[in-house]
């Protein structure tokens, strides 16, 4: 990728899964990349669509993987969702979330009868017709549909797996009601990240393996987007997409060399 892009960067947004690790296994060069980012003193924020862990759990996982980060350097959809829900007052929520994550939403009253909001996150393999039909009826009776993200699939062990976007899209179609998408590629989510970094959009670079969510999402708010060719990256998606990344990395392991060039 273009050395100039890195030279001019004043901040970095970093996708996690597929870039720094895949399926909780460290990506080659990931530790060195983090060390180089620290050494370069470049403000950075991990911007992840992970909805299976809360902030504490993400923090511990990064530490255990040898990728130390402050909690203030991590932004994930559950945190942003809580901020969004607060703007609605004290909405009664129906939470399609893992138990661990439900704790982060404890300030909102739970309701399974005519809730104000249906929050869709990750419930792993538990999706079934009863859950879908119940959420559908709630939305038909007036609940807002709030989705932590609308990812199409992710990659595990060289296999593509269906992500929650299928269920979000299915409910949107059936209820004729567009969901509020919290995570990437939502512009609000990227703007929240920018505010946390304190950098300007045009001098902030997003690094991610998803051409639409990471690269397209970043570009739509005026940032630069770099496609990292690991994780769920597939050459054919690049061909099919209308998004044109500002740069490419074969892996995050290539970042230290580029950051080194920055000083010169």
Distance of CA 247 to the CA centre of its chain: 20
Closer of 26 and 240 to its own copies (Cβ): 240
Closest Cα partner for 55 from 15, 103, 89? 103
Q: Is 97 in the site for its own copies (CB under 8 A)?
A: no
b (16+ CB within 10 A) / e for 103-119: ebbeebeebeeebbbbb
Closer of 129 and 264 to its own copies (Cβ): 129
Count of positions on this chain that bind its own copies (CB under 8 A): 31
Q: Which stretch binds its own copies (CB under 8 A): 56-64, 77-85, 155-163, 214-222?
A: 155-163
Closer of 124 and 263 to its own copies (Cβ): 124
Q: Which residue has the tokens 């987007």?
A: 225
Select the residue interacting with its own copies from 158, 159, 178, 264 (CB under 8 A).
159
In angstroms, rounded to a whole number, what is the distance separating the alpha carbons of residues 150 and 159?
19
- Could you tell me the smallest distance in angstroms from the CB atom of residue 173 to its own copies? 4
Select the residue interacting with its own copies from 26, 83, 110, 162 (CB under 8 A).
162
- Could you tell me the smallest distance in angstroms from the CB atom of residue 157 to its own copies? 13
Closest Cα partner for 34 from 260, 257, 255? 255
CB 69 within 8 A of CB 59: yes
Q: Is 146 in the site for its own copies (CB under 8 A)?
A: no
Closest Cα partner for 122 from 162, 157, 66? 162
Closer of 126 and 264 to its own copies (Cβ): 126
x/- contact string, 198-237, with its own copies (CB under 8 A)? ----------------------------------------
Closer of 92 and 152 to its own copies (Cβ): 152
Q: Is 163 in the site for its own copies (CB under 8 A)?
A: yes
Q: Is 140 in the site for its own copies (CB under 8 A)?
A: yes
Angle at 169 between CA 159 and CA 153, to 5 degrees: 15
Q: Is 178 in the site for its own copies (CB under 8 A)?
A: no
In angstroms, rounded to a whole number, what is the distance separating the alpha carbons of residues 169 and 173?
6
Distance of CA 161 to the CA centre of its chain: 16
Q: Which residue has the tokens 């005026």?
A: 222
Residues contacting residue 81 through CB under 8 Å, at least 6 positions apart: 105, 119, 121, 146, 148, 182
> Which residues of the chain form contacts with its own copies (CB under 8 A)?
124-130, 132-133, 136-137, 140, 152-153, 159-163, 165-167, 169-176, 240
């Amino acid at each position: 990728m273009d050395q100039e892009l890195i030279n001019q960067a004043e901040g970095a947004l970093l996708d996690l899964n597929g870039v720094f690790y895949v399926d909780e296994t460290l990506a080659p060069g990931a530790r060195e990349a983090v060390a180089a980012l620290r050494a370069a003193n470049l403000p950075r924020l991990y911007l992840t669509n992970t909805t299976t862990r809360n902030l504490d759990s993400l923090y511990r996982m990064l530490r255990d993987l040898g990728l130390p980060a402050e909690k203030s350097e991590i932004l994930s959809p559950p945190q942003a969702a809580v901020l969004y829900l607060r703007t609605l007052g004290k909405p009664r929520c129906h939470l399609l979330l893992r138990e661990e994550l439900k704790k982060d939403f404890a300030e909102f009253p739970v309701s399974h009868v005519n809730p104000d909001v249906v929050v869709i996150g990750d419930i792993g393999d538990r999706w079934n017709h009863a859950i879908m039909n119940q959420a559908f009826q709630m939305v038909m009776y007036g609940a807002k549909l709030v989705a932590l993200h609308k990812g199409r699939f992710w990659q595990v062990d060289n296999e593509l797996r269906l992500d929650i976007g299928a269920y979000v899209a299915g409910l949107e179609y059936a209820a004729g009601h567009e969901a509020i998408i919290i995570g990437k590629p939502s512009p609000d989510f990227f703007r929240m990240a920018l505010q946390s970094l304190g950098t300007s959009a045009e001098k902030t670079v997003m690094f991610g393996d998803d051409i639409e969510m990471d690269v397209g999402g970043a570009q739509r708010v005026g940032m630069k987007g770099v496609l990292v060719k690991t994780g769920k990256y597939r050459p054919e998606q690049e061909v099919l997409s209308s998004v044109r990344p500002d740069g490419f990395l074969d892996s995050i392991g290539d970042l230290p060399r580029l950051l080194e060039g920055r000083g010169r």
